[in-house]
Chain A
Amino acid sequence: MTDASDEIVIVGAGASGAACARRLAAAGFRVTCLEQGHWRDPTDTPTTENNWELARNFEDHWSPNIRRLPEDYPVNDADTPIKPVMFNGVGGSTIKWGAQFPRFRPSDFRTRSLDGVAEDWPIDYFDLEAYYDINDRIMGVSGLAGDPGNPRRSPRPMPPLPLGPGGRRMAEAFDRLGWHWWVSDVAITSRTYRGRGACNHCGPCDMGCPRLSRASADITYWPLALAAGVTLKTGARAFEVTVDGEGRATGVSYFDESGAARHIAAGTVILAANGAGTARLMLLSKSARHPDGLANSSGLVGKRLMHHPTGMVSAVLPDMQENFAGAFACTLLCQHFYETRPEHDFVRGYQMQLVRSEAPMTLALGGHQPRLPWGREHHPTFLQRFGRTVSLTVTTEDLPEEANRIDLDPLLTDSSGIPAPRFRYRVSENTRRMIAHGIGSATRAFEEAGATQIHTQQLLSYTGFHLLGTACMGTDAARSVVDADCRAHDCDNLFIVDGSVFVTAAALNPTPTIQAIALRTADRIIATRRERRSASPTTRHGWRELRETGAVAAPVHGASA
């Protein structure tokens, strides 16, 4: 028999929860993961149906407020210009992502030391480098090493995806301007890989991929995690992390599929419910020892919310055709304006990411380009633009501000009656200047490429994919929520492994960094248990020696997959 202190409970089966669960289970831990959503059959996607664009635009939306599945929780987004988007289910928001897979740069972890803003992370790029590599292999990354704009990295598991006609044109324009660019690292297979088919360039990766070319945590990590012995409970909606009289976590209370309240005891609790869900659960978990919410003596849980405020410039290359082919968001990145420069009127920087042409309905309704006119000009304008547009997103680094935050809505609840998160967020002046500069840069690049109908958008609304910073990492318990190992300062058996722990946001898609941190955290938990076991023999049974289980050893330093 075992006791509860052997059990590790993870809340959330998305990118970070899956990675952490697999790592811990492979090292012999007994792990249970609670997920409020369900499995989604990856081979049953709307993109095999004629009306798939109806689903994309109106039904199977990125926003839980529009999608409104029973397992979704609503978000009060009235007081933020950037609308939060996410997915609740096994695989989390990787179910509906574009699979851009860039790594942060070393400077992203040292903004205070280098640029005098925000705070440095207590870890750096090189602490995560080995975990980035492990993660790239498991997720299945296509790309190319050798980018002079980033630290040298290992050969990519697969070669890059094709640039397509728009990518080639813009790459040539960047070259003529002398701006640095590189082909994107993407979690999409450019050839068959570990049972997944090669990408056939259909385009709308966010709608799912019946060929399994586009990675998501349900098809990459979860089969490995389940094989390693993880118990995954779907339809399990966590509403409290319970604690004992000393304030240590004792388990998680949740509603099961039938709506019955249940409790699972645990010796270690790991939160992996994204920057909104984790902060929400911590704020829900008030107790005598944690009166302001779990592990919130700093008052920072829910605060310092960061997104990636994004502008867009879209244009038409009249002599180009068929730029609708290929993964919609995965071609190249321009990081020429990524680092702080004295001539800029803002601190830190931005990336520009190439996006291909839109599908027919989306083009007509207006997305990258303005809505098509009605009347006699409709079809000629459609033919002028369709397959001939190319767009650049201007994705900026959002510096942390305590006023940007998530708290519990006093009225809005999910279908179980649990208070929903309320977002309060403003785009900073620094970010506005950065976006303005980026829009100018992207416009210049399109002019260089010979584009027409250049259309700019200052701030895209439904871009709150990246929910970061709401339980930040740091060495000072008064100024952070978790330490460098993602262990809560106020609760030594509570860990957080999602984007909540980010100290700064960088200007890059965060999932590879989130997963690298989750893997590293798992190794820190493993190391701590080993040290504890060596120092004082225990009668507990849950932590089994690797040699007893036959599991592959998982070294903490010089980490391996």
Chain B
Amino acid sequence: MTDHGPEARKLATLIDTLLPGTTDFPAASETAAATILARRHRAKAVLLLLQELPDGFAGSSEEKATSMLEMIEQQRPDLFRDVIEAVYAAYYSDPSVLAAIARTTGYQHPPQPAGYAMPAFDETILNHVRTNPESWRDTRM
């Protein structure tokens, strides 16, 4: 994030409370998620929520911020669902997040052109089921 104004700090607190960093994954504010949210029409719900959050939200502890968001989630479930959708979508589009997923799980992103190597189908797994009796009904009889 390059904007350090009050609204930007509130947004950073919001998205970091929703998606805090870990040893494996960046916090949401360390990604381009905030920029994406400021740009995309889907982020209207986020902007609406920011207007409803008190001025002190940006400076509150993680525990307090979490408590405030839990209350809003209960009171405004539709708005909060839209916020979650927008924040998750922005976060999981970020190259640094996708790189973290690749490091921790072996996931290939984007899916093409590399794809994955997989062992070919092994017919021996059918040994048991091949012995089943025929189970379709012959309508010619």
Contacts and interface: CB of A to CB of B under 8 A. Distances in A.
Contacts of A380: 22
B113 A48 contact: yes
B105 A386 contact: yes
Contacts of B129: 148, 171, 174-175, 180-182
Given A50-B110, A149-B135, A339-B137, A379 B118 contact: no
A383 interface: yes
B126 to A, nearest CB: 7
B29 interface: no
Given A322-B106, A360-B107, A105 B136 contact: yes
B25 A171 contact: no
A160 B121 contact: yes
Interface in B105-129: 105-121, 123, 125-126, 128-129
A161 interface: yes
Interface residues of A, number: 77
Interface string B126-140: 101110111111111
Interface extent on B, as a size class? Answer: 35 or more
Nearest to B23: A379
B79 interface: no
Contacts of A322: 105-107, 116
Contact of A325 (B18, B24, B118, B130): B118
Contacts, number: 176
Interface stretch (B5-13, B43-51, B90-98): B90-98
A99 B21 CA distance: 39
A48 B121 contact: no
Contacts of A336: 135
B24 A379 contact: yes
Contact of A183 (B97, B101, B104, B126): B126
Interface in B33-79: 42, 66, 69
Interface in A3-57: 45, 47-54, 57
Given A365-B88, A376-B20, A163 B136 contact: no
Interface of B: 17-20, 22, 24-25, 42, 66, 69, 84-85, 88-89, 91-93, 95, 97-98, 101, 104-121, 123, 125-126, 128-130, 132-140
12 contacts: A45-B112, A47-B110, A50-B93, A50-B109, A51-B93, A106-B136, A180-B135, A201-B118, A202-B108, A360-B98, A361-B88, A386-B105
Given A47-B110, A339-B137, A376-B20, 19 more contacts: A48-B112, A50-B109, A105-B137, A144-B126, A148-B130, A148-B132, A162-B118, A168-B125, A182-B126, A201-B116, A211-B112, A322-B107, A360-B97, A360-B107, A361-B93, A374-B84, A378-B19, A379-B22, A383-B105
